[in-house]
Structure 1
């Protein structure tokens, strides 16, 4: 499986939105109530994704020219890492995180923060991220994790 990671552009917004919505509904739906899921989904319409592309460094993962994953770097924070449900557990998230970490090091970032969902905690832990604290936003529970980066 050859996955290509590249920087996202505005033309990717609809596909990014579709990946995120599917992942949130199918994967995170087991760990959060429907009200939280729908609130998160509402934040990732194609129009909102275009706005985020102007604020963050967003990457996409492609398999056979199809966007199957996305992740972003926002300062020293990893944001919105999502993989299409049918492509999860195939190394795509790990490949995206390698790209985010490499880019972070190139920008002089020494420690990355990740606001993780309950669903993704074990994924980030396998990559060396450690829990700092929990954060609550209404019914949404987020795990704040971090990882010191090792220079290349």
Structure 2
């Protein structure tokens, strides 16, 4: 697997949107009602992704030049970490998280927060994150997870 992780740019918005929509529909569909899934999907239309690229430090993971994953650092929070369903469990999410954690450390972040879906709880737990609290937004249940970062 030849994996490249780089900072995202506006030309990536369509591909980022496609990865997120596929992951939300296929991976999160069993843990959330359809209304929540469709609400999340609407939040990641290409136009919205372009807006997020201006607000967050967004990374993409590429295999053979194709975007297969994405994740972002927003202050001290990890946001929108998604991997294409057919590429999940291949280390792409871990590689993205390592890059995000490195960027957070470089920016002086001492503790990272992750608003995790129920679906991703195990993934983040394996990376050393712990549940801090649960957050409800309508029917959407999110786990706020945290991890202290090692000092440089």
Classify the TM-score, shorter chain.
over 0.9
- Per-residue CA deviations over 1:55-113 (Å, capped at 9, x if unaligned) read 00000000000000000000000000000000000000000000000010011100000
- Which runs of no fewer than 5 residues in structure 1 stay unpaired? none
Count of residue pairs the alignment pairs up? 152
| C-alpha separation in 1, matches of 2:151 and 2:89 | 27
Specify the alignment match of 2:148 in structure 1: 148
Instruction: Report the secondary structure of 2:29's partner residue.
Output: helix
Specify the alignment match of 2:119 in structure 1: 119
| C-alpha separation in 2, matches of 1:49 and 1:120 | 21
Specify the alignment match of 1:131 in structure 2: 131
Deviation at 1:151, TM superposition (A): 2.2
1:5 aligns with 2:5: yes
| C-alpha separation in 2, matches of 1:119 and 1:65 | 27
- Per-residue CA deviations over 1:25-46 (Å, capped at 9, x if unaligned) read 0000010000000000000000
| C-alpha separation in 1, matches of 2:3 and 2:151 | 24
| C-alpha separation in 2, matches of 1:74 and 1:42 | 20
- Per-residue CA deviations over 1:105-142 (Å, capped at 9, x if unaligned) read 01110000000000000000000000000000000000
Deviation at 1:2, TM superposition (A): 1.8
Q: Tell me the TM-score normalized by structure 2.
A: 0.99
Specify the alignment match of 2:71 in structure 1: 71
Instruction: Report the secondary structure of 1:30's partner residue.
Output: coil
- Which runs of no fewer than 5 residues in structure 2 stay unpaired? none
Specify the alignment match of 1:34 in structure 2: 34
Q: Tell me the TM-score normalized by structure 1.
A: 0.99
